[in-house]
Structure formats: C-alpha cells, structure tokens
Chain A
C-alpha cells in the first residue's frame, strides 16, 4: 500500500524568505555541470546525489531511502546579484508606487490611515473586502506626497515584465533590483497590513530574489534514451543557464569589471531566472532548447490543457473503468448496456458477505477468476487482501465468513455509468444495467444514440463501475437511462425512435397494412410481448386478419387518449382532423389506435413528438421504457416482413417531367441573361440601399432560387409514397424532400458566404468561362441533378460550396468547445437551494427563482410550463366517459 508521508491539515500561502530557502536546502549548488565523463553525478552539481535518487537501486545520500521512497530534497543557488521575481513584479510596482522613497511609510496621513485600518478590522462583505480596501488605500497613497517626511514627488514607472524607473521632471533613473529591494526593506512592519502583506508569513523584500531554490532531481529526472545518451529535463537545462551566468557575473564583479559588462550579465541573469519561472512571459523572448524547441519551465508545467491542473487534478485516469468500440443491439433494453465477458471478468464490485448472501458468495468465489461470474479478490476480517486463483479458490470459499468483502466480477444487472465524449451535457453520462455478452464491443440500444450522439462508425465509449452501495443506488435512481427520456433542455424526448423505427412504424400502421394471425403472433413473440401484452388466445382464430394499427395499439397504455397530426400531414388548407382523408390525423382513444398513421410525430427522438412524451409524463419512466423497448422490437420484426429499401430508381422521373424541369431552368437562364443585358444597357433600376451590381446579383439569385424551387416542385409531383426514399423523408426517418429533389431535379445555386461563386481566377470563377461572365452557369448554378450527374464545371462549383461547409463545422466546433469550457467554469457550482433560489458557493444569489420562472424543463410541456391542449383534451375525455 502507498505510504502517506505527511497528512495535510491546512495550507498557508506566503513568500519564501532567503533564510527559509537556505534552511530547506541540503546543498548549495555551484557547478553548472551535471554528470562527468563516466556518467557519474558531479558533486555540488545539479544532479548531486544529495538532491534525491532517480536511479532504481541507488540510495539517497541525504535520507538514505531507496528510489520511490525518497521524495527528493531541495538545493539552492546564491545569486551574485538580486533579481526580481516576475510573478511578483506587478505587486512590487504597486507597493513602490504607494510607499515613500525615503522613509518607507505608506503615503497616507494619520487620519486616512485610521480610516482604512478601521475598515480592515470590520471587513466582511463582498463589496468591501480586504482586497478592495487595500487596493483603495494603496491607490490613494500612490497619488499623495509623503505626509511624514515631505520627500519630493517622484513617480515610479513600470516597464513590463521586470524593469522599474523613477521619474521626476525631465529626469529618469533606472531602479536596479538592489534599489528596489532596499526600498521594500525600508517599509515598517506596521505598514504591511495596508499594503496587503501578511506579516506572519511574508516580507515585501522577499519578492526580490537573492537565493534561488533548486528543486529536487525527482522533480526534473533525466531520461536515458535507447542509445544510452542522457537527456536532461527542461528545468535542469534552465538551471544550468542560471548557474553559468551567475558564476560569470560573480567572477566579473570580483575582478572589478566595468559597470557596463556587469550590468549586461545582471540583465542576462534576470532573463534566465524569469524564463525559468515562466517561459511565456510577454515581452521576453522564450528560451529555447538547442534544437529550437521552446523549453517547458515551471509555469508551463502547471497551466493549460496539458498542465498539472487540467490533466492531473481536474481529470485523471481512473480504476474500475473500461473503454471499447460500441455497436448496436436492438434486442437489449434502452436501460441496458452489453458488456463483453472479458471486460466483465476484469471489473470488480466489492460486496460484503452477510448471512443472506454467504452461500451465493461462496458459489461466486468457487468460480474463481477465470469463470464468469467469479471473484478476483477477498478481503478478510483481519483486513488482509487475498487474490483468488484457480488453485486457492476452493480454500478461500471454505474460509469465507460473514464480514468478509468479496471483490466479485461484474454481472448482469449491476449498475454502471456509461459515457461518450465530448461530454457536452449531463445526458453524456447515464447509468445502465449490465448485460454480459460475448465478443469485444459494448452493445447499445439504438434509441439511446441521440443523447450520446453516438453512431457505430468506430465510436468508442467509456464505462465506469460505482464501488459503493450509495453510489450505485444514486446512479440507478437519478441517472438511469429511462429517467432521462425527456430532455432537461427542451422538455421533449431525447431518447426515442430513429431511422428505420420511424419508417417501419409508418409501414406497419399505414392504411392497408394487413398481417395474418400467424405473422402477428410471430412478431409479438419476437418482441417479447407475447403473454405479457397480448395473450396467445388472441391468435386462436388463424384466419383473422390484423391491421398494423391493431398491432400497434397492443403496446399502448389501456387508458391513453391522445390526438395529433402525423408528420406526413399534408397541411391542407382546411384540416379535417379525425376525418382526414389521407389518414394523417392520429386518434388514440382509451388505448385504441382508431385513426392515423404512426410516424416521426409520434415517437421520434429530439423532436416535439406527441405520443412518447405523453406516455412518459403520464405513466412514468418505467412505462416509457417498456413502450420503447417493445415498440422498437415490434417494428423491426414487421419491417423485416414488409421490406424497406432505397435505390437510384426512387428518384427516377418520367421523360415528360424532365422536359418540364428543363423548360423551367431554360426560362430562368433566359431571364438571367435578360437581367444582365439590362444591366449592361444601363436599364436596370437600382434597389434602395444597394449598388447596381448588388441589385443585379440579388435579382439573379432570386430568379434562380425560384427556378430551383419550381423544378423541385415538379419533381415532387412524381415522388409519391410508393418510393421508399420518399417514405423516409416524409415520415421524418431520414432526409428531407429538398435532398430528394436535388437528386431528382436540380441542385441549384452553389454559394460561398451567401454569394454566387465569383472568386478563384481573375474576374471569373473557373478558367472555363469568359472574364466577367455573369451568367447562371458561370457563377455556380448547377442545373444537373445528382441522378443525372454533374458536368466538370458543376462538379468544381459543388466542391467549392461543400468546402465552405466543412470549414464552417471545423471552426464552429473549436469555438463552441471553448465557449462550453468557459460556461462550465462559470456555472459549475451554481445550485438550486431549498427556497428555489439559485446561488453560487459563496451564497451569492444568482436568480431568485430557478430560471426566473421556477420551471423544470424536463417536467414541462415542450418548454412551456403547462400544456393547455393536453389538459383540455384530458378533461373533455373525462367528461364524456
């Protein structure tokens, strides 16, 4: 087990004093070299063995412990001249501005001091906390002349990142770090409080370094490459630079070298110490490795996505997790996840042995680690953890007693968390029940794809196994898939039917869909509802013909009454409602599907579907899950009997239709030419607020858009419900009519940034056209359809438009990812309190009522607080009965 060397009780932040640094140091480092020619660490060098061990087998010369046990020990460097600590430069500036250059006191008179000190004593509220008071006091002092000694007014100028000047009149004097340190030393301790320094742990002069700590070698281990060449850590490289310059500076000072040379070296030392702390300080050229790579120094180790915080503290690698490819399984419940058996035998749950499960646990232990469901470890009552092997399994089972903890393998019914990145909303992690299965992929019900945004083109997902009873029950109660059918974002189902489930429902329930008793019995058997939802006796009469509607209603709650327009609704001028002659108005009364066809409008995921949400909201999540599980199985069973396919002939249009389309496009082309002629002849009338060119462009665009729509309209007349592609589009299963008309009739205008294509070559879009040609064909109008195929120029135009789409999505995802991060950081600890107000973790009120209306979207009706139509409908239904 890992030994805890020290238990952290509290943390106090302060500045290290030179004495502190020397006290914690085991060695003054004076040599810039690391290893000698034999590869042995040089004494008093940066790799001195007293600084810790990084080679297995060696012992630490300070504490005598082995590699891994010795935490490493700090050394130090005595700087020949002090340097400013970049991280403190700004604070130094603020202090210098507000204290007197001669007496070191804060430039406030006695009465002002008293006011601020009084405020500090009673500083509690957010609007006037210590920081704000200190800032006010210092700002005020900075504007004053010293009231204590009347020293003349000289202003301090700060040049980023670490240079200070003093200015008076026309004169200007550079302050060296020595000058700065002297001034800070002069500040009396009584002033510390008012300049925001905690006198218990810090002194302002410590912000100017005279001694530099050298981190232990365990912090900057060297690595040996395959060629047995040692490669040093970036921090070591930087420390080498510092020691070298420090040494040269000291030698020059001792030899009495000219001031100029000393100052140059001093500046160089300041540079190296600065980049050692932070190699991305603005205004300082970053230090580079010999290869030209920018060195990663202390600040770079901590910040950013790959830094200590985001990659080791906010997020880390965890045990009891698994990751593999996902694949679909329509026969498992939406609540379940298929887990490969080899994953299941690796993941374990600790389970305490009680009088009630002793026998069961014995049986599991007897299975050993290699037979599922087995156990991998037991923890005995004396706290000893024992591995179970095939040899010891029977002995361990014998020994098993109440109080033992068995680390049993994952088995059917266990609750696990399932996740797919990017985890953009809370539905990206949901709780599933395990179903152990053969093969190597996680299996997922297709209805749960939308919230995870998963498909099966190689997507991988993560699985986490909660280890305590509380965690498991919490996950099972609030994170279960069935509890998340209704989205907390818009109050509509995010889990529901998609693709074939939608077109299949249409094929099953449309007018004229009839099935023999035998077929129906088979379908119900396959969807596991035979004898639960419908008894076998319903199929006694073998010659009875079932309609699809009869089949569908079997799965509905017996007292459900609801009416809605189906997705295929033709949106007639005057809706006939229940008498719709196209069977597009769904009437469900007391669990009977009397009229209408079931399609996307009933149970499609991520749409304001009208049936699924009623079941979930009215009958609960269990009923919702049951409905989805059974309806999807029933539909695939039916669709396999009916058949659904699509092909190029789905967009075939008879000759006469093609002629009409050609005519429309021809006319449009002529109209465009007329417009161009008018423009050239100066007869075109300018639209208000537009240039003549814009007017022309807009007219042409409008003309061509109208032509495409008309051509599409003609095509649509021939695209009837006999074609399966049309079924998919109209029911909301996949695609839309625009896609189909682009396949059948005409693609239309290609655009980049909302304009017709015109750039690429001088005054033309492609070299195939004359310069300045404004005709439809030369500016990216594609009159071919996908079915016909595109001409070479059209093909280029098409790819130009397509490229913009790709770039847009790439840019959008990057930008929205960054925004998401900022939002999460800003909102992560907001919480709805018992009084329904929203507050942050310092109890600041953000909203007085959640969302300013107190509505929980997942209990709402499509985002509205109440669904008036539904309430009226239910009330009327009650009245009638």
Chain B
C-alpha cells in the first residue's frame, strides 16, 4: 500500500486558521484590552500551525462554523516548544493530587 499524503486542512473538522497581520493583531489586542501573553496559546509544532507556516509570536485567527450561533471566532498566540517547557510545572508528581479515596 502506498502512503497517501493527506492535507489536513481539507478535513471538514479542521476549522479555518489564518495568520493575522501586525495591524490585525494589534487591533485584536486593543479590542480585548490585553497584552499578547493573555491570549490562549497554540504550539508552533501544532500540525495546522506548521502547514500555514505561522511562527512563534504570531497570532492565529480560528473560525469555527459549527457553532449554534453561526460562526465563532477564536484567537491563539503561537509559542515555541521552549516557552511551553518553561510554562510547564517542572514535576507533575509533586502536585499533591489526592486519590479519590474515601470520598
């Protein structure tokens, strides 16, 4: 069997992703009155991000059209793997995570 190359953007479940221009990015930050680091994040290594060629520091606009109220818009700030590692709690096992136990 030969491997077929699949473009994941063609899948109907993958919503539309676009990279915002500098002005558009600023507009969004202004509209919500936040700095870029308050936006939801997405990894540079995300399959869709790789395909559309967004780089760390970009803001991506995601438009989903399956919402009951028509289109819903979402923005994500692209980060690199290194930033992700910095954000991660250095040891998950140290977070005191009680078992459900007697509850």
Contacts and interface: CB of A to CB of B under 8 A. Distances in A.
B80 to A, nearest CB: 10
Interface stretch (A125-133, A392-400, A766-774, A868-876): A125-133
Interface stretch (B17-25, B42-50, B65-73): B65-73
Given A127-B83, A845-B38, A852-B74, A817 B69 contact: no
Interface in B75-96: 75, 79, 83, 86-87, 90-91, 94, 96
Contact of A845 (B34, B70, B87, B100): B34
A844 B74 CA distance: 14
B100 A126 contact: no
Given A835-B32, A852-B72, A845 B86 contact: no
Contacts of A854: 69
Contact of B67 (A135, A305, A853): A853
Contacts of A837: 32
Contacts of B83: 127-128
Nearest to A811: B100
A305 B35 CA distance: 38
Nearest to A820: B103
A135 B87 CA distance: 10
Interface in A774-824: 814-815, 817-818, 821
A125 B69 contact: no
Q: Which of B83, B87, B103 has most A Cβ within 10 Å?
A: B103
A125 B35 contact: yes
Q: Chain B binding site: helix, strand, loop or mixed by DSSP?
A: mixed
Given A125-B37, A845-B32, A845-B40, A855 B73 contact: no
Given A136-B86, A303-B96, A305-B98, A817 B40 contact: no
Contact of B69 (A304, A842, A865): A865
Interface residues of A, number: 34
A136 B103 CA distance: 40
Contacts of A125: 35-37
Contacts of A855: 68-69
Contacts of B34: 843, 845
A803 B31 CA distance: 58
A281 to B, nearest CB: 11
Contacts of B37: 125-128
A852 B74 CA distance: 8
B55 interface: no
Contacts of B73: 848-849
A246 B41 CA distance: 53
B40 A846 contact: yes
A343 B41 CA distance: 54
A125 B29 CA distance: 14
Interface in A107-162: 125-128, 132, 135-136
Nearest to A847: B74
Given A814-B100, A817-B103, A852 B38 contact: no
Nearest to B35: A125
18 contacts: A127-B86, A128-B37, A128-B83, A303-B98, A305-B101, A815-B100, A818-B100, A821-B103, A839-B38, A842-B38, A843-B34, A844-B38, A846-B40, A848-B32, A848-B74, A852-B64, A852-B67, A852-B72
5 residue pairs, one from A and one from B, having the closest CB atoms: A853-B69, A818-B100, A132-B86, A125-B37, A126-B37
Interface of B: 31-32, 34-41, 64, 67-70, 72-75, 79, 83, 86-87, 90-91, 94, 96, 98, 100-103
Given A842-B38, A853-B72, 18 more contacts: A125-B36, A126-B37, A127-B41, A127-B79, A128-B37, A128-B83, A305-B103, A818-B103, A835-B32, A849-B73, A852-B64, A852-B72, A853-B67, A855-B68, A855-B69, A863-B68, A864-B68, A865-B68
